Chains A and B, each alone.
Chain A
Amino acid sequence: SAVISQKPSRDICQRGTSLTIQCQVDSQVTMMFWYRQQPGQSLTLIATANQGSEATYESGFVIDKFPISRPNLTFSTLTVSNMSPEDSSIYLCSVEVTPGEQYFGPGTRLTVT
Chain B
Amino acid sequence: GIQVEQSPPDLILQEGANSTLRCNFSDSVNNLQWFHQNPWGQLINLFYIPSGTKQNGRLSATTVATERYSLLYISSSQTTDSGVYFCAVETNFGNEKLTFGTGTRLTIIP
State the A residues within 8 Å of B (CB): 1, 31, 33, 37, 42-45, 48, 90, 92, 94, 96, 98, 100-104, 106-107, 109
B45 touches A42 (CB 8 A): no
State the B residues within 8 Å of A (CB): 30-31, 33, 35, 40-43, 45, 48, 50, 86, 88, 90, 96-103
CA distance A100 to B40 in the complex (A): 25
A100 touches B48 (CB 8 A): yes
CA distance A48 to B35 in the complex (A): 20
CA distance A43 to B84 in the complex (A): 12
Q: Which of B41, B50, B86 contacts A100 (CB 8 A)?
A: B50
CA distance A106 to B42 in the complex (A): 5
Name the residue among A90, A98, A100, A106 with the largest chain B CB count within 10 angstroms: A100
8 A–B contacts, CB within 8 A, in A order: A42-B100, A42-B102, A100-B30, A100-B31, A101-B48, A102-B33, A104-B35, A106-B41
Known: A42-B86, A42-B103. A101 touches B97 (CB 8 A): no
Name the residue among A37, A44, A90, A96 with the largest chain B CB count within 10 angstroms: A37
Considering only CB atoms, which chain B residue lies closest to A103 in the complex?
B45
CA distance A96 to B33 in the complex (A): 12
Considering only CB atoms, which chain A residue lies closest to B1 in the complex?
A59
A45 touches B43 (CB 8 A): no
| B49 smallest CB distance to A (angstroms) | 10
